[in-house]
Amino acid sequence: MLRFFAFIVISLAIMPAMAATTTSQALAHKQAGTPVTADNWMISAANPLAVEAGAHILRNGGTAADAMVAVQSVLGLVEPQSSGLGGGAFLVWYDGKTGSITTLDGRETAPMAVTPQLFQDKTGAPLKFFDAVVGGLSVGTPGTPALLQAAHERWGRSPWSSLFDDAISLASDGFDVSARLASLIAGDKDRLARYQPTADYFLPSGIPLQAGDRLKNPAYAKTLHTLAMTGVSSFYRGAIAADIVDTARSPDTNPGLLSAQDLSIYRIKERPAICTSYRGYDVCGMGPPSSGGLTVGQILGLLEPFDLAALGPQSADAWRLIGDASRLAFADRGRYMADSDYVPVPTRGLLDSDYLAERSALLDGSMALNDVDPGNPPFDTALNWSDDESNALPSTSHISIIDPFGNALSMTTTIENAFGSRLMTQSGFLLNNELTDFSFRSHRNGIPIANRVEPGKRPRSSMAPTIVLKDGSVMLVAGSPGGSRIIGYVAKTIIGVLDWGLDAQQSVDLPHLVNRFGVYDLEAGTSASDLSASLTALGYKVKVRGLNSGLHIIVKQDGTYFGGADNRREGIALGE
């Protein structure tokens, strides 16, 4: 990790790209702390094989939507712990012709047979997290396949059937297990061993896969071939759907409630983008059921009156402002944000300029805020909600693409916890545990919780795929995995670029300091820990710990694309 003071020096090494970037060059850029540059298109995502698959599509005339299908198909194979066909995703799209922003909600849905007591024991007490996660009880209706097709139908140019070629070849011929995947398998081997098909895949002969092992997945290749030839209707009906339901409801898997009907009625939803102004830029993201766009927007809105540029990234006072702005936004998140199809969410009120100015005034002091409570935003419908209580230890991935046609795509994709429910279908992919993103409690002190479990409802998410515009044109495409810390990672990256003038790779490499609920998490092994004493003196409880983001961003400046990929993971940026 680079030190803060090195950022400006490194930026002098940036030169515009003259040709396509190779994978080895992309890795060298990332390790050196310099962005990949290009003039025509750019992809940044979580695995080199997936990025190369997307690059192949763009070189052959495809759009960002086409490339995303190829990237996601490979990600589901080479980093199955993070995303795949058995999960869900949120997508933000910028149209290069019209300048419009569209968002697609591919979030999983709760089975129609659930009740708000899904994750409670017979006494009404919440289950322990992993007692709920592992097995079919936590599985929601997957949305990713439907999202792939919906994006392609709206914005694709390449033949649908051609978009899976690289993933099918890799699944059939095999790929080398990465060090990261091997480490995660070893760390989770006891849970992976609970369901035999999962154990057979990740723990052959009872031994966790090792880095460099050649891994094939013919079942996944067959599934992708079926999707390529017949479309995703074959996923939501027929043999694949039956396989999903049988896996989730198996009596050997902490059986769940997912049904064939749940799959057959699943639909992608196009929703209004959440856009807020910051420093003269429009920051656009995903609205409910994601809390990402609203909470990032609130954090930036609360910080608007303060001169972060003058303070700089080494300033404890800058991080006091950022940390307490985050705490205020997270208090509102816990009270008000959930699936807006089920509960009224004060979307406009949470971003109302007068409301944000009132909340921002709380940051005017010189010490950390003592108590942080939800505010009272303007609300179209007067409702009383209790504060959320949910657990999340997710594993997620992010894809950022700008294509030769000027379209931009930001998509965050997940199966929630690492390896999801730990249920491997006979069709070659893992099923999500997304239902554990709901509050395990349904009420608190007799008052309902907005993010409680309900039939057909989509659990609240922290995913924050983001596109930043300047005068109607794309300036930044960003997103990250990381559970509820995603919001802080994305906000920090936007501040790094817009306030502190960092380039794409510098802003990704910027050490993490995240405060959601009062404790200030500082990224271990980085210069963030240098601020520990100063933040403690300001009144914070501080914890130095690993903070494993997966930021993948693209910055556009003077007609050139600059791609950054997170050194904390194995992804790269490629462009030409």
Which residues are known to be catalytic? 396
Closest CA to 343 of 247, 450, 194: 450
Contact 361, 304 (CB under 8 A): no
The DSSP output letter for 376 is -
**What is the three-class DSSP state of 542?**
strand
Contact 532, 8 (CB under 8 A): no
List strand residue ranges (DSSP E) for 418-551, in order: 443-444, 447-448, 466-470, 473-478, 513-515, 519-523, 541-545
Contact 74, 166 (CB under 8 A): yes
List the beta bridge partners of residue 37.
562
Cis peptide before 404 (omega within 30 of 0): no
**What is the three-class DSSP state of 100?**
coil
Residue in this structure with the two tokens 């051609």, named with its chain if needed: 162
The DSSP output letter for 499 is T
Please state, in angstroms and rounded to a whole number, the distance separating the CA atoms of residues 239 and 34.
47
Contact 121, 109 (CB under 8 A): no
How many CB atoms are closer than 10 A to CB 387? 18
The two three-digit tokens of residue 550, written as one number: 């997966």
Contact 396, 412 (CB under 8 A): yes
Strands 88-94, 101-106: pairing kind: antiparallel
Please state, in angstroms and rounded to a whole number, the distance separating the CA atoms of residues 350 and 337.
10
Closest CA to 375 of 284, 274, 301, 278: 301
Across the chain, which distance is largest between two alpha carbons, in Å? 66
Please state, in angstroms and rounded to a whole number, the distance separating the CA atoms of residues 110 and 455.
6
Please state, in angstroms and rounded to a whole number, the distance separating the CA atoms of residues 165 and 537.
56
List the beta bridge partners of residue 90.
105, 412
List the beta bridge partners of residue 430.
424
Please state, in angstroms and rounded to a whole number, the distance separating the CA atoms of residues 334 and 361.
21
